[in-house]
Amino acid sequence: MDEQLNAIAALAAWFGEHKRPMPWRDNPTPYNVLISEFMLQQTQVGTVIEYFNRFIKRFPDIRRLARASYEDVLKHWAGLGYYSRALSLHETAKLIAEMDEFPRTKEALLSLPGIGPYTAGAVLSIAFDIPEPLLDANVERVLSRVERVPGSKDFKKQLWLHASVWVNTAYSHNIAPSVINQALMELGATVCKPKNPACTECPLYLACGARTAGETGLYPPEKPKKEWIEVDEEVYCIFNSETKFLLRKRGGHEWRAGLWDLPDTLPVPESRLMFRGAADIRLTVTRHKVSRTAVIYRYKGKMNRLDKEKFYWMAPAELESPSVPCGPSLLRTMKKVMEMLGTGETGDQQIDEERRPD
């Protein structure tokens, strides 16, 4: 126990000197931590910071978020990907806003949409300094190496037990749960990396079983290969005389519900359209490998009035800062279409990388 306590103390001291500034870390209110953890599910920290700041500016507290329309929430989430997170966050905000206080137990948090064991542990330990463990990819890597946890069917169970021991041991010796849990995440993100870990810079150098055995590359064990869902889709890029293109809002039961994208059926008679070509786009979105063909048409004559709740004419320049929520599929498609038609560049969007497990 003395060796483990020494390692915990060394890690906490290291974190105090090396932690990166993050807006939710600088002001760890329960609301800020909740928003950041929803955003950090499957998304890199560097990507999240800008979105977090913009989101908090628009929705500064849980009640403001709860009162907002889903459309407005999606608009300020657009670009982060994994849009089901935005829906779950909005529903969770509505439920919390009806409570007397922010939930302070694991059971209460786990009952809310979109919150799993990791997010519950993060909110409780970081916002309230309650000694709850957490386990994301970074903590998993650190603890599996330090404790040399072998790959087996109860691999995750063993890691959760180790994470619990670490945070409770720290707490019993006056080291805050917010410090030790964030320190484990920070160490995994910046030092104990998947490949070529900087072991000589690690505060757990002497405590690490995998480093001592020269086996850091064996921990954690390799995960099964990701199973991809293949998606083939055809959409229609219809331009009008003002070179604006037509978008359709996806319905509630469709994939990427609530987002605006090119229509997948022709909303106008084909006799009023002039074929201009087609563009093929390949992209990955979450677990989906998408093969998309965008058929390009110029609309001839004056367009009949369309339902504004379902259709929207967007100028190419708006893609740099969309006024309606749209995803990476549209942005990537329109970049290809604009290049093909020779009408200029549009903004591109980087697809999110996986990080958090909830």
Domains in the chain with CATH codes: 2-218 (1.10.340.30), 229-341 (3.90.79.10)
pTM recorded for the entire structure: 0.80
pLDDT score of 357 more than 60: no
- pLDDT given at position 81: 77
Structure confidence by residue, pLDDT tens digits, 78-101: 878 778 899 899 999 999 999 999
Least confident piece of the model among 15-29, 123-137, 177-191, 295-309: 295-309
More confident residue, 42 or 238: 238
Q: What type of residue is 98?
A: E
- pLDDT given at position 320: 81
The rounded percent of the chain whose pLDDT value lies above 90 is 71
d(CA 28, CA 35): 11
Q: Which residues are catalytic?
A: 37
pLDDT score of 356 more than 90: no
Task: Find the helix packing angle between 30-40 and 84-97, rounded to 10°.
Answer: 160
Q: Count the Cβ atoms, other than its own, within 10 Å of residue 178.
A: 20
- pLDDT given at position 346: 36
Structure confidence by residue, pLDDT tens digits, 184-200: 999 999 999 999 999 99
Q: What is the mean pLDDT of residues 303-318?
A: 87
Q: Do 262 and 246 form a contact (C-beta atoms < 8 A)?
A: yes
Residue whose C-alpha is closest to residue 336's, from 286, 300, 290: 290
CA distances from 182 to 142, 204, 330, 338 (A): 12, 15, 36, 44
